[in-house]
């Protein structure tokens, strides 16, 4: 079973999209070329590819979850500009091989690098990225970071149902504490620039629950018949923080752009 089994519909509807400011940073990371090629790794339902439509005209987006790719197809195909190419491929990052002769100008890995064999993927990308190209690893903080009182209450409810440790599907989340920039500096893409883009959002109870159901740590199947009870507990916890069903969040995207040191 996929870590994100049963989450694709929630993911598409409730995961925050890529802000215009972030899309502009990614757009400016590489020079304009024709064709301009994008490889989006761990595309999910295509949020990064969607934000970059019109800026790259040859896009390959990969994910190992077929339901996520169906969501990406439904969302992206109708928006594809005339003359642009979009390929959605079911594959892991570790096993992906692009078409012969195809090399990306930009590779994006958004909210997904922690799931990968990081050193292996970065090494493989050396053959998949064009001269002058770049790899961008980016993401914002999840609710598990619990950096505000209402998020702390939400996380406490999740833990009361699923245990203290962060879940990752049917197991627990295990991850190192090394900065991603440090890992990139040990790869072919060792000239690393970090860019931070502040993001302010306001959530509702429904959007918070939808977001939770889109994650690997609170996917609906984990609750085994207690999903309704969980939803009611989250609603009750959130009611202690707002009488207007409005929950502000100050977040940020941290974008790490790596380029080859020899270019």
- pLDDT, residue 146, reads 79
What length is written for the chain?
263
Q: Is the pLDDT of residue 205 over 60?
A: yes
Least reliable range by pLDDT among 150-159, 167-176, 192-201, 234-243: 167-176
- pLDDT, residue 176, reads 73
Q: Is the pLDDT of residue 115 over 80?
A: yes
Three-class secondary structure of residue 138 per DSSP: strand
Give the DSSP letter string of 87-141: EEEE--TTT--PPTT--EEEEEEES-GGGS-HHHHHHHHTTTEEEEEEEEEEE--
- Asked if residue 240 belongs to a domain, the reply is yes
- Asked if residue 216 belongs to a domain, the reply is yes
Rounded CA-CA distance 83/44 in Å is 24
Contact 11, 4 (CB under 8 A): yes
Q: For the chain, how many structural domains are there in total?
A: 1
- pLDDT, residue 136, reads 98
- pLDDT, residue 23, reads 98
Strand partners, 199: 251
Q: What is the mean pLDDT of residues 208-218?
A: 96
Rounded CA-CA distance 42/25 in Å is 19
pLDDT tens figures, 64-81: 999 999 999 999 999 999
In the structure, what pLDDT confidence band is assigned to residue 154 with cuts at 50, 70 and 90? very high
Q: Is the pLDDT of residue 140 over 60?
A: yes
Q: Which residues span the domain enclosing 137?
A: 7-259
Least reliable range by pLDDT among 108-112, 143-147, 195-199, 245-249: 143-147
Q: What is the mean pLDDT of residues 84-89?
A: 98
| CATH code of the domain covering residue 245 | 3.40.50.150
R_g over Cα of the chain: 19
The rounded percent of the chain whose pLDDT value lies above 70 is 98
- Asked if residue 156 belongs to a domain, the reply is yes
Nearest to 235 by CA among 153, 163, 142: 153
Contact 160, 234 (CB under 8 A): no
Q: What is the mean pLDDT of residues 139-151?
A: 92
In the structure, what pLDDT confidence band is assigned to residue 4 with cuts at 50, 70 and 90? confident
- pLDDT, residue 5, reads 75
- pLDDT, residue 2, reads 65
Three-class secondary structure of residue 66 per DSSP: helix
Three-class secondary structure of residue 220 per DSSP: helix
- Asked if residue 167 belongs to a domain, the reply is yes
In the structure, what pLDDT confidence band is assigned to residue 220 with cuts at 50, 70 and 90? very high
Indicate if the alpha-carbon torsion angle 173, 178, 181, 183 is positive or negative.
negative
- pLDDT, residue 6, reads 84
- Asked if residue 148 belongs to a domain, the reply is yes
- Asked if residue 2 belongs to a domain, the reply is no
- Asked if residue 31 belongs to a domain, the reply is yes
Mean pLDDT score of the chain: 95
Nearest to 24 by CA among 140, 113, 106: 106
pLDDT tens figures, 33-62: 999 999 999 999 999 999 999 999 999 999
- Asked if residue 141 belongs to a domain, the reply is yes
């Amino acid at each position: 079973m996929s870590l994100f089994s049963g989450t694709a519909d929630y993911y598409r509807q409730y995961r925050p999209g890529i802000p215009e400011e972030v899309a502009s940073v990614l757009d400016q990371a590489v020079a304009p070329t024709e064709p301009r090629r994008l490889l989006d790794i761990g595309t999910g339902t295509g949020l990064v590819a969607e934000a970059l439509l019109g800026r790259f005209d040859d896009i390959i987006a990969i994910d190992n979850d077929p339901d996520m790719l169906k969501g990406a197809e439904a969302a992206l195909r109708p928006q594809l500009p005339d003359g642009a190419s979009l390929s959605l491929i079911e594959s892991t990052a570790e096993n992906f091989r692009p078409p012969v002769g195809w090399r990306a100008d930009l590779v994006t890995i958004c909210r997904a690098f922690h799931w990968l064999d990081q050193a292996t993927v970065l090494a493989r990308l050396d053959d998949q990225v064009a001269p002058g190209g770049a790899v961008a690893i980016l993401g914002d903080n999840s609710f598990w970071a619990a950096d505000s009182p209402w998020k702390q209450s939400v996380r406490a409810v999740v833990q009361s149902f699923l245990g203290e440790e962060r879940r990752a599907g049917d197991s627990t989340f295990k991850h190192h504490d090394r900065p991603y920039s440090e890992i990139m500096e040990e790869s072919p893409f060792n000239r690393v620039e970090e860019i931070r883009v502040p993001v302010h959002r306001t959530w509702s109870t429904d959007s918070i629950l939808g977001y939770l159901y889109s994650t690997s740590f609170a996917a609906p199947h984990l609750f085994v018949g207690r999903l309704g009870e969980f939803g009611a507990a989250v609603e009750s916890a959130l009611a202690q923080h707002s009488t207007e069903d409005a929950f502000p969040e100050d977040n940020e995207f941290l974008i790490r752009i790596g380029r080859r040191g020899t270019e």
